[in-house]
Amino acid sequence: MLALAELVPEQGAVLAIGAELGTGLVVAAAWAQPSAAGDLRIGGWWEAAPTVSWLVAGGGVLLAAQLVSLPAVSVGLAAAALALAALRTVIVTRDVRQLVLHRREALTDDLTGLPNRRALLRRLELLTRDRGRGRRRAALLLADLDGFKELNDALGHAAGDALLARVGERLAAVGGAYTVRLGGDEFAAVVEAPLDPQAVARRMLAALSEPFTLDDITVGVGASIGIARYPDDATTSGELVRRADVAMYDAKRRRVGVAAYTAERDGFSRARVALAAPACRGGSPPRSRATACAASGSSSR
């Protein structure tokens, strides 16, 4: 350190070195690849390369000018490089803010302010990208409001929208879940371990059990919730959504409020299609097996 102090006569050069190193660390952190639980990447290191190059080149020349005599042209070009780096930083910051705003709008439901279907699918893609080979455990909950269509027809679409917004507020207040509005009267939630998805689903139902007041009219609405677990029930995002949907309709049909996915109640499960395949090849299937046979035939082609 004493030798460095003798080589650098002014403290400003030392501060310049620290500033350059700090800038490099900030840029590296900003453009580092996210973890498996993070968001999708916007860009890469190459987008920061011009700014970093100008900072290093300009700062290096100005630092060298503190130690040796350099032509004024070199110093001027170095200052211009730093000015260009600052200008590019301002432009990139503005563009990133606009991109974040547009992405937020694209991933947000206008009526409830909750994340929308696109946001859910993106989160599920991140969740399931290791196809169950990792240690992450989670569950997808799909909720469909019971009796909403009748209320919407009786009270009008404005009251129906107000009711959906209130439902979204209550579901978002349930702890431990990433709550989403899929569209219409369907909502979803992602629950990750160690939380119990059954307990979260019960809390969602409890949150909707209190009546809603809309324009001096008190209405009640319930929900049917289906649960599919990752990776126990499915290892891809599409299959996880489909099996949660099967469980949700099972809960609605049996009027039990909450139902977990089981292959026995899934008419399109691989096991049931495989069992139906020999009967399909043997001749005309019974009416009850027509759907499974159609699925088996399409998968075999």
272: in domain: no
Each residue's pLDDT tens digit, 106-123: 789 999 999 999 999 999
24: in domain: yes
Which has more confidence, 147 or 5? Answer: 147
pLDDT given for residue 20 in this prediction: 54
| Same-domain status, 219 and 150 | yes
Catalytic residue among 109, 144, 146, 185: 185
| Same-domain status, 36 and 150 | no
Active site residue 185: yes
Write the secondary structure of the chain as one string of H (helix), E (strand) and C (coil): CHHHHHHCCCHHHHHHHHHHHHHHHHHHHHCCCCCCCCCCCCCCHHHCHHHHHHHHHHHHHHHHHHHCCCCHHHHHHHHHHHHHHHHHHHHHHHHHHHHHHHHHHHCECCCCCCECHHHHHHHHHHHCCCCCCCCCCEEEEEEEEECHHHHHHHHCHHHHHHHHHHHHHHHHCCCCCEEEEEECCEEEEEEECCCCHHHHHHHHHHHHHCCEEECCEEECCEEEEEEEEECCCCCCHHHHHHHHHHHHHHHHHHCCCEEECCHHHCCCCHHHHHHHHHHHHCCCCCHHHHHHHHHHHHHHC
205: in domain: yes
Across 83-96, average pLDDT: 70
**What strand order describes the sheet that includes 186-192?**
178-183, 186-192, 138-146, 222-230, 258-260
pLDDT > 80? residue 292: no
pLDDT > 60? residue 255: yes
Number of domains in the chain: 2
| Same-domain status, 60 and 17 | yes
Distance CA 215, CA 164 (A): 14
**Residue type for position 59:** G
pLDDT > 60? residue 244: yes
pLDDT given for residue 37 in this prediction: 40
pLDDT given for residue 252 in this prediction: 94
Which has more confidence, 191 or 282? Answer: 191
* pTM of this structure: 0.61
| Same-domain status, 193 and 74 | no
69: in domain: yes
| Same-domain status, 150 and 227 | yes
Across 242-250, average pLDDT: 96
Distance CA 235, CA 233 (A): 7
Centre a 10 Å sphere on the Cβ of residue 240 and count the other Cβ atoms it contains.
25
pLDDT > 50? residue 40: no
146: in domain: yes
| Same-domain status, 99 and 139 | no
pLDDT > 60? residue 39: no
Cα 171-174-177 angle, rounded to 5 deg: 95
Burial class (CB in 10 A: 0-12, 13-18, 19+), 248: buried
Assess contact for 138 and 193: CB atoms under 8 A: yes
pLDDT > 60? residue 278: no
60, 89, 106 - which closes a domain:
106
pLDDT > 60? residue 195: yes
184: in domain: yes
| Same-domain status, 164 and 96 | no
Dihedral sign for Cα 23, 29, 31, 32, please.
positive
- Residue 98's domain comprises 2-106
Burial class (CB in 10 A: 0-12, 13-18, 19+), 230: buried
Domain of 195, CATH number, reads 3.30.70.270
| Same-domain status, 262 and 137 | yes
Distance CA 107, CA 39 (A): 12
pLDDT > 90? residue 142: yes
